[in-house]
Amino acid sequence: MTARLSKPPARRARTPAAKAPPTPSPPIGSIPLSAGRREHPLLGLGLWALGRWTPTDEARTKATIGRAYERGFRWFDTAEVYGSGRSERILGDVLLRAAGGAPDAFVTTKVSWEHLRPAQVRASLINSLERLGRTSVDLYLIHAPDAKVPLAQTLPALEALWKEGRIGALGVSNFGVEELEEVARHLAEAKIAVNQVRYNLFDRDDAEPVREYCRSHQILIEAYSPLARGLLHGRYLDTEKPTPEFKRFIQRQAETDPLPDILVRARALRDLAKEAGVPLGSIALHWLRRNGAAPIVGASRPEQVDGNLAAWSIRPDDSVLDRADAIARGDRA
């Protein structure tokens, strides 16, 4: 008798594995801007480097901005001089393709110190808006003063654009107290809402002299280079050697090389972060926030966006921030 072959069981269709839900993004938060039409986010993404890359890298830069928007960043800071406008164009392209054209994005750009004459100011803003694909910007800054062009010429031109609704708020960058006082004298209705300066645990020379003035006049300090080009994320503290560009960044106007001492203090800050159970970047960012500043972080890859948000999501205790302040000043390392 011949055995009958049994029919193989029918294969069940595989159910696709469920995708893990995306990691929830920590809320960034925002604060009212005294002289602005919208609230100002507390943490922003600076696009200084994004206009300097080769075309081969453009997909990565767009992915970085896209990740930032997807994870909750809304404040994007650029300037007409970044890549001669390329940074603005890349940002505009990414935001245009975001959900609904990203109407909730808070966009900052800057007029160059080379374009501060009235006709140049208007042309610069119109060109920036065209590259960004927007009808207005939320914040427009004078990138830096120009001794050859009186602010008495520049500010009425900016105020006229503000009255037209092309600018949500006016600001400046790298201005000292005397310049801020002069700005106030040349504005009839608008007020300066922001002063953007270089500010981090190791570099306070620009911010400390203007902090009290800004506080008393309700001017928000925006802090660029808040992580000292990655040093306060832990870069250069082990085997990676500081680049020549980073050495110039640290050297600034010091008569002697400050880098060896700063690396010692940065390693002490890292030890403090480990002891406190927080990322080093958390200390750097929240020290600035406690001092009333809104940090602008950089990122050149999507994963760096995630790292910045992870640092922002944890606020160290005030006692930790106090110790960090002392270490960074050199009181103890």
Query: What pLDDT, on the 0 to 100 scale, is given for residue 189?
Result: 96
- Mean pLDDT lowest for which of 191-195, 196-200, 251-255? 251-255
pLDDT confidence tier of residue 37, bands split at 50, 70 and 90: confident
With a cut of 90, say whether residue 212 has pLDDT above it.
yes
Q: What share of the chain is helix, strand, coil (3-state, %, to 5)?
A: 45, 15, 40
**Alpha carbon distance 309, 313 (integer Å):** 6
Mean pLDDT, to the nearest integer, of 196-209? 97
Query: What pLDDT, on the 0 to 100 scale, is given for residue 11?
Result: 41
In tens, the pLDDT along 252-267 reads 767 788 999 999 999 9
Query: What pLDDT, on the 0 to 100 scale, is given for residue 257?
Result: 86
Phi (first) and psi of residue 126, to 5 degrees:
-60, -45
Among 214, 133, 129, smallest CA distance to 164 is for 129
In DSSP notation, 252-298 reads TT-SS--HHHHHHHHHHHHHHHHHHTS-HHHHHHHHHHHTTEEEEEE
Terminal-residue alpha carbon distance, the chain = 91
Phi (first) and psi of residue 253, to 5 degrees:
-110, 15
Rg (CA), the chain: 24
Residue 284 near residue 315, CB atoms below 8 Å: no
pLDDT confidence tier of residue 2, bands split at 50, 70 and 90: very low
| Residue 331 Cα distances to 265, 321, 323, 324, angstroms | 10, 14, 9, 10
Among 323, 310, 261, smallest CA distance to 281 is for 310
Number of H-type helices and E-type strands within the chain: 11, 10
- Mean pLDDT lowest for which of 43-57, 180-194, 239-253, 272-286? 43-57
Residue 193 near residue 294, CB atoms below 8 Å: no
Domains and CATH numbers, the chain: 30-198 (3.20.20.100)
In tens, the pLDDT along 214-229 reads 999 999 999 999 999 9
